[in-house]
Chains A and B, each alone.
Chain A
Amino acid sequence: MDLKALKKQESKRKISKGYMWALFCAVFWGIWYLPGTVVWVLNPFDEMYGVIAETNGDAVSLVVTAVLITAFNALTVMLALMVWNGVLQKFGELGRTLKEFNPCSKWFFLASIFGGPVAILGSFMAMGFIGGAFAAVAALLYPVIGSVLAYYWYGEKITKRAAIGIVVIILGGITIFGGGLITELGAGEVPWIGYLGGLMAAAGWGIEGAIAGKGLDIAEPDVGLTLRFVGENIIWWILIVPILAIVGFPMYSFAIQAFEPLTLLVLIFAGITFGFCYVCWYKSFPLIGVGRGQGIGNLYGLCAIIFIFLFFGDVPQWTILLGGALCVAGSFIMFTEEAGELETLRGE
């Protein structure tokens, strides 16, 4: 084989690998909404919600319970990633990267602030108050923020085609989001705190992707995202959970009760699916760029709807189906991009 053909083949392989990672991310991410929804009806979280709601009202109770669920989610994700790094023999690199706090770890800790307390907490709030399908599709808007930030911040190129794809995906997201909202407005009761959660998810993940891209270009993705979850665990277990306990919420008594087989199983399931969705997400960025990685990863919205339908039997509204179709179409507009345009992702 001659040089030119080999070059073309190699570039193609790199790009298809990047898209493959992004697609795996979508599947794992979609599955995550199953344990994420189920965990709300399991003890101790079910009981905790009831107890706090009696004294502090539904809204406060929802947020505080979501905090504990998100903290456990972060813990199981971190454990899953530690196993992953062990398999890849990357503990040495983990230590080396952690020591370089100033140049690169700080980006992961910053990413964990937007990913954890903003995006993941928001998702659990949306799941608890409105439902898994809504939580999934609400966050579909995050690539707007991610791509725009990546463009202005470190000059990542967004080709015309990629931009069209992103716009179509967003239209799909709006259709799904708007459909539910209109029905609820008609019924006269809008669970606004759930919608706030949905917005937090979209904004948080968009910002996280752009920040992580900045740390990611000088660190290994497997190591980088593990550090990101170490950061999130510090934020939850060392800062927020103790503060809530001091304020008077029964955080620890319910946290201890989480150690029962069924609850643990669901939490571990959440940790594994979410951990690997992140592995795939971060791996796709250096190969196809933050904007595209996030765009294809967006297929998770559709995956989540399918999984929720299969496991819970919830039949989606027509707006959800139409929006889902738009998301697929948008992702394929990006997918069929000419390989040549992707050779360098940044302007010189």
Chain B
Amino acid sequence: MGNRPLKFRILELFLDEKEHWNYEIVSKIMEEYGMKGDYHRDSINFDIIELASGGMLKDVEQKVDEEGIYKKGFLLHKYVITDFGKVRGSDACLRYV
């Protein structure tokens, strides 16, 4: 069960400096924090959007969700952490994985 604030954990998952799709992160967070349902799914995705518009994550690739892995007909986003994100992450005492 996750015990850190959601955005901290999301940043932590990105600290491996690899690119991750939003649906991968969302499902991992939901599993870790024992969350279920569309409401929490959208809420976590909104956290990722906020981190991206705050300049901590960078949107590097998009594709249309044709099979409905996440939300059919909507965009899927692939993000990578930015230098600013790493700085904020280390401010938040996140460890590098």
User: Which A residues are closer than 8 A to B by beta carbons?
Assistant: 1-3, 6-7, 10, 14, 88-89, 92-93, 96-97, 99-100, 102-104, 216-221, 223, 286-287, 344-348
Contacts and interface: CB of A to CB of B under 8 A. Distances in A.
A286 B75 contact: no
A277 to B, nearest CB: 20
Nearest to B94: A103
Contacts of B63: 3
B4 A218 contact: no
Nearest to A15: B53
B51 A217 contact: yes
Interface of B: 2-8, 11, 33, 39-40, 43, 47, 49-51, 53-56, 58, 62-64, 73-75, 82-84, 88, 91-93
A93 B53 contact: no
A6 B75 contact: yes
A10 B95 CA distance: 33
Given A3-B62, A3-B64, A218 B75 contact: no
A122 B14 CA distance: 43
A344 B85 CA distance: 13
Nearest to B40: A89
Given A14-B49, A100-B4, A348 B82 contact: yes
Nearest to A347: B55
Nearest to A90: B43
A216 B51 CA distance: 10
A92 B7 CA distance: 13
Nearest to B2: A96
B82 A217 contact: no
Contacts of B75: 3, 6-7, 10
A54 B28 CA distance: 64
A345 B55 contact: yes
A345 B53 contact: yes
**Sorted from nearest, which 8 A-B pairs have the closest CB atoms?**
A346-B55, A286-B50, A103-B92, A217-B54, A97-B5, A96-B5, A6-B75, A218-B7
Contact of B5 (A88, A93, A287): A93
Contacts of A102: 93
A220 to B, nearest CB: 7
B94 to A, nearest CB: 9
Contacts of B62: 3, 6-7
A218 B64 contact: no
23 contacts: A1-B64, A3-B64, A3-B75, A6-B64, A10-B74, A10-B75, A14-B49, A14-B53, A89-B40, A96-B5, A96-B6, A100-B92, A103-B93, A216-B54, A217-B55, A217-B88, A218-B92, A220-B5, A223-B5, A286-B54, A287-B50, A346-B54, A346-B84
Nearest to A105: B5
Given A3-B62, A6-B75, A104 B54 contact: no
B5 A217 contact: no
A334 B3 CA distance: 40
Contacts of A14: 49, 53
Contacts of B47: 220
Contacts of A216: 54
A217 B4 contact: no
